[in-house]
């Protein structure tokens, strides 16, 4: 998603053709509302799993396992969602899904025909913020204003051609490094000035968010990259009446951490140290081999624990290692050192053999349904009730977020129930 191309690759689709990234047919959902999803990073493992999953649901080939809110039938049906989006890699989604090896071969067979019709639009990229990602399917312009305009064009074309009522922009791109100075994100005017000045600190992630909000598209940032949750973009979203949500999806290890830590606190067990390591062999892991990208990721993972426990855990260590034998099948290992009554020392260890995209794809689908619902309700700006989905939940006015899983779930269910 993130490299700048200086020459035009004759092989990539031109804008006119790139509408093929949208599905050939489009039908209203049960409510008569037509929802599209424009994905930043459409060719990635999570995105291609999500798109394939929706098609498999449509075919009745898979059930609702792993979909947390399947029984919330008042939300947009999964099967009615239309997909499009950008990727640095021009390969169609059938090819992408084959590379990522998340689907069973038999599942891929069922949906390959459909996935072949989806080809990513050329992407805005910047290798300074995401070194290990690369590809040929790039927008060949460098002015930030023009880049924004190009993204907005894509969104308008997607909306028109698919006759969509709402387009959600979903950031599933590889982890960007955090620029050293992000003061321009603290203030809407400063952001405008930075864009005008073509400030290189304005990462592609910020541009997509800016363009989405400008087009009144609800925006979800599932990556750790800074941007959308800043005061500048929150303010912009409120002005445009757009709900935004982020950041960094809470799938495996951190999810478990936010389940366990509140319980340990409840039982009065003191956490002396928490050691977390991750083995990850997919493209995400490869991207994170770049130390700057890693820093973004580890930061959003690390900040969670202290706030839940109410004290600082000095020996909280989080590691992510790129380890190829596993592919998309991530493993996280945690060791927690505890002190209980009378100073009794205890240890709790967790080994989670999980599937990165299998956990992430349904969360992303639910987030799309949630921001559509928020939009329908006329809500705008940072959606705090969606903290359940994120490692580093956005809050309004820089309030400390709630990280505890059970409370996040309660908050979200209360919101859904209109309480």
Cβ nearer to its own copies, comparing 53 with 90:
53
* List of E strands, 251-409: 270-280, 315-322, 331-339, 345-353, 381-382
Q: Report how far apart, in Å, the C-alpha atoms of 101 and of each of 287, 329, 357 are.
A: 18, 10, 10
Minimum distance between the CB of residue 42 and its own copies, rounded to whole angstroms? 18
Tokens of 226: 């800074």
Q: How far is the CB of 48 from its own copies (least distance, A)?
A: 12
Nearer to its own copies, 220 or 242 (CB): 220
Cα-based distances in Å from 137 to 3, 37, 154: 9, 20, 14
Q: In angstroms, give the least distance from the CB of 284 to its own copies.
A: 16
DSSP lists the bridge partners of residue 158 as none
Cis peptide preceding 247, ω within 30 of 0: yes
CB nearer to its own copies: give 2 or 258. 258
**Minimum CB separation from its own copies for residue 353, in Å?**
4
CB of 296 to its own copies, least distance (A): 20
**Residue with Cβ nearer its own copies (122 or 285):** 285
* Closer Cβ to its own copies, 5 or 336, answer by number: 336
CB atoms within 10 A of CB 226: 25
Q: Of 220, 159, 213, 161, give the one whose Cα is nearest residue 188.
A: 213
CB of 390 closer than 8 Å to CB of 375: no
Residue 213 or residue 256: which is nearer to its own copies going by CB? 256
Write down the least CB distance from residue 164 to its own copies, Å: 25
CB-wise, 8 or 61, nearer to its own copies? Answer: 61
The C-alpha atoms of residue 293 and residue 391 are separated, in whole angstroms, by 16
**Nearer to its own copies among residue 8 and residue 263 (C-beta):** 263
Is residue 417 classed exposed, middle or buried when 0-12, 13-18 and 19+ CB atoms within 10 A define those classes? exposed
Nearer residue to its own copies within complex by CB, 255 or 370: 255
Q: Which is nearer to its own copies, 199 or 337 (CB)?
A: 337
Rg of the chain over Cα atoms, rounded to whole angstroms, equals: 21
Residue 221 host element (H or E): strand 219-221
- Least Cβ distance, residue 89 to its own copies (angstroms): 22
User: How far, in Å, CA of 397 to CA of 389, rounded?
Assistant: 20
CA pair distance 23, 81, nearest whole angstrom: 10
CB 78 within 8 A of CB 361: no
Tokens linked to 158: 């997607």
Q: What is the DSSP string of 86-107?
A: E-SS---HHHHHHHHT-S-HHH
Handedness of CA 16, 17, 22, 27 (dihedral sign): positive
CB of 403 to its own copies, least distance (A): 13
Least distance between its own copies and beta carbon 105 (Å): 7
146 in helix, strand or coil? helix
In the complex, what is the shortest distance from the CB of residue 229 to its own copies, in angstroms, rounded to a whole number? 23
């Amino acid at each position: 998603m993130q490299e700048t191309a200086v020459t035009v690759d004759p092989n990539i689709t031109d804008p006119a053709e790139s509408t093929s990234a949208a599905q050939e047919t489009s039908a209203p959902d049960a409510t008569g509302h037509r929802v599209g999803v424009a994905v930043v990073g459409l060719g990635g493992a999570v995105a291609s799993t999500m798109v394939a999953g929706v098609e498999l649901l449509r075919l009745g080939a898979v059930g609702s396992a792993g979909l947390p809110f399947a029984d919330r039938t008042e939300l947009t049906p999964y099967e009615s969602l239309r997909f499009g989006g950008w990727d640095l890699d021009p390969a169609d989604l059938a090819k992408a899904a084959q590379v990522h090896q998340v689907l069973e071969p038999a599942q891929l067979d069922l949906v390959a025909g459909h996935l072949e019709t989806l080809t990513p639009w050329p992407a805005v990229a910047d290798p300074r913020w995401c070194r290990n990602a690369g590809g040929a399917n790039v927008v060949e312009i460098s002015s930030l204003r023009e880049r924004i305009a190009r993204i907005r064009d894509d969104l308008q074309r997607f909306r028109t051609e698919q006759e969509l009522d709402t387009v959600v922009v979903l950031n599933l791109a590889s982890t960007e490094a955090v620029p050293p100075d992000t003061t321009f994100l603290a203030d809407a005017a400063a952001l405008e000035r930075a864009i005008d000045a073509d400030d290189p600190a304005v990462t592609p992630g910020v541009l997509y968010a800016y363009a989405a909000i400008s087009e009144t598209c609800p925006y979800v940032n599932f990556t750790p990259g800074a941007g959308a949750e800043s005061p500048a973009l929150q303010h912009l979203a409120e002005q445009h009446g757009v709900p935004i949500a982020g950041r960094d999806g809470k799938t495996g290890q951190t999810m478990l951490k936010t389940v366990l830590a509140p319980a340990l606190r409840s039982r009065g067990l003191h956490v002396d140290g928490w050691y977390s390591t991750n083995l990850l062999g997919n493209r995400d892991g490869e991207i994170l081999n770049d130390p700057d990208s890693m820093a973004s990721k580890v930061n959003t993972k690390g900040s969670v624990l202290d706030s839940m426990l109410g004290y600082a855990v000095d020996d909280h260590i989080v590691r992510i290692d790129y380890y190829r034998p596993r592919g998309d099948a991530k493993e996280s290992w945690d060791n927690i050192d505890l002190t209980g009554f009378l100073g009794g020392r205890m240890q709790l260890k967790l080994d989670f053999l999980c599937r990165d995209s299998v956990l992430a794809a349904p969360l992303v689908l639910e987030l799309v349904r949630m921001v559509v619902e928020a939009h329908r309700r006329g809500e705008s700006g940072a959606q705090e009730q969606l903290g359940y989905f994120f490692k580093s939940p956005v809050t309004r006015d820089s309030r400390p977020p709630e990280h505890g899983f059970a409370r996040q779930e309660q908050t979200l269910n209360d919101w859904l129930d209109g309480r």
